[in-house]
Amino acid sequence: MLKKLRPRSAYDVVALLALFAALGTGGAYAADTIGSADIINESIRSEDIKNTEIKALDIGPGQVLGSRITDETIKSNDIADGRVTGADIAPDTLTGADINEAELGALPGAPIKIRFEVGFNFAGEEVSEIAVGPWTLRLACAFFFTGGELGQIAHSTLSAKVSGPGDMQWSGSDWANNSQTPEDPVTPKIGGALLGAAPGTTLAAATAVADDPDEFYRTPVRFSRTAYLNSGSQVAMLQFNGAAGADDGCELYGHAINMS
């Protein structure tokens, strides 16, 4: 038997050596030339892939579906800003707890509460601004003193101004003191004006003066106003009462409605 396996010539030895060389290098050759076509479909498993070797570029667009994502694993920082739009939110799924009310503007027709209270102080002027559609209502209360060697006289001034596009029409009254009794001097107010940039057009103003009755009654210290603001198809209404007290400060209450 062994005699049959022995080479009969030098040519047989060379042939055997060539065969062994081919077999020895065949594995390396195959490893360098295996492509996708050489792999049976659905034969590569998770354990055949090294951890962290699958990158985003290896996944085709639209290939990762909701069924492939574990519930409650997507967090806020996994979503790019501005990517979630109204179309991505199911109807009637947002509640009040999900909405920052401070970021919402007033809805058309919804009343906007106006409340401005400033106690008498020496801080100068205090201002509050309220947005009503494209307009801004600016309320200001200022304190100052006049007089010389005979004594200082306190003053407080309350003003309401409107800035924005278009124009406004108003009506109302000014009273000469705070009681609003029938005996009070009252002045009807009706008018209109074009609007413009801030600080705005004066809609109402009252100045109260302490320790000087004659000047006190000549100067309106309480007012009421109803005003309509117009700019093209945009309309809003303001309605309020305000008062300035020489030693009490300023107060103004009412509401605004953006009717556009």
Question: Are residues 117 and 96 part of one domain?
Answer: no
Residue 43, in any domain of the structure:
no
The better pLDDT of the pair 210, 171 is held by 171
pLDDT at 206 over 80: yes
Question: Are residues 203 and 76 part of one domain?
Answer: no
pLDDT at 192 over 50: yes
**Stretch 99-104: mean pLDDT:** 68
Q: How far is CA 82 from CA 14, 69, 85, 88, in A?
A: 73, 21, 7, 11
Residue 19, in any domain of the structure:
no
Question: Are residues 147 and 75 part of one domain?
Answer: no
Contact 237, 219 (CB under 8 A): no
Question: Are residues 72 and 154 part of one domain?
Answer: no
* Strand pairing category for 186-194 and 135-146: unpaired
Question: Are residues 125 and 86 part of one domain?
Answer: no
Residue 23, in any domain of the structure:
no
Mean pLDDT across the chain: 78
Which domain range does residue 174 map to?
A: 111-258
Residue 10, in any domain of the structure:
no
Question: Are residues 207 and 156 part of one domain?
Answer: yes
Backbone φ and ψ for 217, nearest 5 degrees, come out as -75, -20
What is the pLDDT at residue 246? 60
Local confidence band at 8 (pLDDT 50, 70, 90 cut-offs): low
Helix, strand or coil, per DSSP, at residue 6: coil
Short-list 157, 166, 179, CA closest to 233: 166
DSSP string, 83-142: ---GGGS-TT---GGGS-GGGPPPPTT-EEEEEEEE---SS-EEEEEEEETTEEEEEEEE
DSSP string, 160-205: EEEESSSEEEEEEEEESSSS--TTS-EEEEEEEEE--STT-EEEEE
Residue 93, in any domain of the structure:
yes
pLDDT at 37 over 70: yes
Residue 21, in any domain of the structure:
no
pLDDT at 3 over 60: no
What is the pLDDT at residue 258? 93
Structurally, the chain folds into a number of domains equal to: 2
Residue 200, in any domain of the structure:
yes
- The count of C-alpha atoms lying within 13 angstroms of the C-alpha of 126, restricted to the half-sphere facing its C-beta, is 14
Q: Which of 32-41, 44-53, 64-73, 226-235 has the highest mean pLDDT?
A: 226-235
What is the pLDDT at residue 103? 67
Question: Are residues 116 and 77 part of one domain?
Answer: no
Q: Give residue-wise pLDDT tens across range 218-248.
A: 455 889 999 999 999 999 999 999 998 766 7
